[in-house]
């Protein structure tokens, strides 16, 4: 209901024939002002089972012959590239995507309470995985569904398998399950599903330059980051998030903290020595 109300507010659609829409323009201006002052950061959590991760890792190594990726870093860089491409598109609207890989490896018996052999016997694997995820990824098992993408693949080829499952989860959450066919085509599939989930599906029909894309993206970000986790948060200033640079940034920040701590410790030692000398 909250999202529906905000949708009406930003689009200017009138539900009642009588009366004037007096407050929506003012609210729109307030929202625009907030947009100018900061950026909405939307979290996207990625999960993939080991067979899907292997395919993605091999794809990354095939297009980067001078670099050898492992299972985890190959998948993180792969999805970071996708998110960073989306961020370039969404940056003018002050919305950015932040990848979350804290539960990257999908371990079926633990994460979904299912056996891989049982999953791969079903006629609609993406839907079966999605139905289990809706039960096991919600509060209180986790902080909440938020926005999640699950990429799944069975060890043997299954012709004619329906490849997609997508649903809303709660007021703002979105769950998408993709049965992996080809890591190269998966790039566009993930890009499409991410943008669709944040624009109430309008991105399927209009370009990112359209006013509807902009309005609905801003509507989602403005309403759904109010509660912060797990959907995302609002941050002061323009944030140009590039996910593939975060690892090095974290290393630099960690090094800075160590140097800072050593500096503080050394200063404290000098101060103690002076006290003892004066005492």
**22 assigned to some structural domain:** no
pLDDT at 76: 97
87 within some domain? yes
49 and 127 inside one domain: yes
Residue range(s) defining the domain that contains residue 265: 245-279
Buried b (16+ CB within 10 A) or exposed e, 124-148: ebbbbbbbbbbeebbeeeeebbbbb
For the segment 258-279, what is each residue's pLDDT rounded down to a tens digit? 333 343 444 455 455 555 555 5
On whether the pTM is more than 0.95, the answer is no
Q: Specify the pLDDT at position 145.
A: 84
Q: Are residues 164 and 264 in the same domain?
A: no
Band the pLDDT of 131: cuts 50, 70, 90.
Answer: very high
CA atoms within 13 A on the CB side of 37: 9
Same domain assignment for residues 92 and 205: yes
Instruction: Tell whether 259 and 199 lie within a shared domain.
Output: no
Residue 49 has what pLDDT?
A: 97
Residue 278 lies in a domain: yes
């Amino acid at each position: 209901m909250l999202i529906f109300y905000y949708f009406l507010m930003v689009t200017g659609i009138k539900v009642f024939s009588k009366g004037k829409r007096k407050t929506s323009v003012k609210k729109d201006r307030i929202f625009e002002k907030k947009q100018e002052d900061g950026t909405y950061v939307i979290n996207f959590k990625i999960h993939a089972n080991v067979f899907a991760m292997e395919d993605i890792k091999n794809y990354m190594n095939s297009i980067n012959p001078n670099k050898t990726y492992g299972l985890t870093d190959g998948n993180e860089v792969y999805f970071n590239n996708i998110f960073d491409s989306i961020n370039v598109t969404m940056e003018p609207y002050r919305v950015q995507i932040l990848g979350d890989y804290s539960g990257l490896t999908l371990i079926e018996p633990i994460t979904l309470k299912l056996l891989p052999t049982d999953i791969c016997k079903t006629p609609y694997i993406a839907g079966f995985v999605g139905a289990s995820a809706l039960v096991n990824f919600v509060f209180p098992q986790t902080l909440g569904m938020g926005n999640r993408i699950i990429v799944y693949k069975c060890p043997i080829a299954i012709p004619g398998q329906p490849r997609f499952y997508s649903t809303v989860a709660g007021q703002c959450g979105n769950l998408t399950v993709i049965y992996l066919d080809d890591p190269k085509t998966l790039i566009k599939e993930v890009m499409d599903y991410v943008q669709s989930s944040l624009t109430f599906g309008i991105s399927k029909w209009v370009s990112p330059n359209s006013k509807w894309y902009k309005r609905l993206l801003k509507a989602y970000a403005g309403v759904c980051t109010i509660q912060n986790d797990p959907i995302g948060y609002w941050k002061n200033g323009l944030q140009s998030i590039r996910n593939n640079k975060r690892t090095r940034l974290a290393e630099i920040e960690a090094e800075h903290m160590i140097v800072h701590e050593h500096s503080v410790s050394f200063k404290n030692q000098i101060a103690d020595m002076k006290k003892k000398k004066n005492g």
